[in-house]
Amino acid sequence: MKNKTHILLIYTGGTIGMVKDYKSGALKAFDFDKMSKHIPELAQLDCSIDAVSFDKPIDSSNMNPDHWAKIATLIEENYEDHDGFVVLHGSDTMSYTASALSFMLENLAKPVIFTGSQLPIGDLRTDAKENLITSIQIAALQKKGKPVIQEVGLYFEYKLYRGNRTTKINAEHFQAFTSLNHPPLAESGVHLKVFDEYLMQRKSVKRFLVHKELDSNVMILKLFPGLNRAVVQSVLGTPNLKALVLETYGAGNAPTDHWLLEDLGKAMKNGLHIVNVTQCSGGSVILGQYKTSEQLKELQIINGKDITTEAAITKLMYLLGSGFSHKLFKTVFETSLRGEMQ
């Protein structure tokens, strides 16, 4: 008889784990041990489900690298005994956490599926049940005794995306996420369709490694018309700042003001890593395509290509925390490590 797949549910907080107190109308976290009471459908799934919860579930606005390390530890400790993981998380910062975890979990050979919801489980029109049930089904998918998904994914409103390619785009619609630079990995309709060609392909079997050291001496600076030198200098002069995501226009373009290039160049000479990421949700930085990015190219700024800001900032934290040498930093950043960029 075929053994059932074992899934670990990790509840961190967010709307998905809340129920409405019908008397007061307020949202409150429900007791996760009583999950089957709220979602009796779980009993029909052909897998066994264990659940662990943060002691104090949090709104994902309070997520930080310590929480990421906690999630990584839970996965590490349960890695051998489980076939897949589903992380319930508030949608607000889910793309950051999914990106961070994709870097922290090296040589991942099992699914880690993030999901959440726009409406709490106890709401009549909730999207939580579908998101949760399908995430578990996806995490339990096996082919020839091996998990079908071997990477960090994010499932929301009928689509599974690569986690580090996602961005939250809507605070209202059930379709809260998008992944403009990478197609969905799977789609749920009448059938659950997995698009094998878009999945991470593991070339060799390597030991699973968990990296928990992240360095948060990083910053995001978004360009806008009117950004002045004093503001730029104050950002670049932040004590201990080690890396900066520069959100540029379009295909990686920036104003050609002499002072801007001078200040960025000086900061880089002093050891600051600067990554050029486009502030568009889709498309890629193409350094040198326009005159307005030529000088950035000459400065040897790191090319973020089509990476999201969420993946760029967490990749910086991971690379800085792993102590990659200054010399190799640009080359390593410009290399896709977990399918996060072209």
Identity of residue 330: K
Residue in 5, 7, 9, 14 binding ligand ASP, rule: CB under 6 A: 14
Whole-number Å distance between alpha carbons of 51 and 33: 8
- The DSSP call for residue 215 is -
Tokens (6 digits) for 259:
């002072």
Q: Is 95 in the site for ligand ASP (CB under 6 A)?
A: no
Q: Which stretch binds ligand ASP (CB under 6 A): 8-16, 142-150, 202-210, 281-289?
A: 8-16
Is 15 tagged catalytic? yes
Q: Which of 5, 15, 126, 248 is catalytic?
A: 15
The sheet with strand 112-115 has its strands ordered as 47-53, 5-11, 84-88, 112-115, 152-156, 159-162, 186-188, 192-194
Tokens (6 digits) for 23:
């008397």
Cβ at position 12, least distance to ligand ASP in Å: 9
Helix (H) or strand (E) holding 267: helix 258-269
Name which of 260, 329, 325 is nearest 296 in CA terms: 260
Q: Is 187 in the site for ligand ASP (CB under 6 A)?
A: no
Q: Among residues 92 and 310, whose Cβ is nearest to ligand ASP?
A: 92
Task: State the greatest distance between any 2 C-alpha atoms of the chain, in Å, as a whole number.
Answer: 71
Residues 123-152 that bind ligand ASP (CB under 6 A): none
Cβ at position 159, least distance to ligand ASP in Å: 16
Residue in 5, 15, 253, 295 binding ligand ASP, rule: CB under 6 A: 15
Residue in 53, 60, 284, 303 binding ligand ASP, rule: CB under 6 A: 60
Active-site residues: which are they?
15
| Contact set with ligand ASP (CB under 6 A) | 13-15, 59-61, 90-92, 116, 118
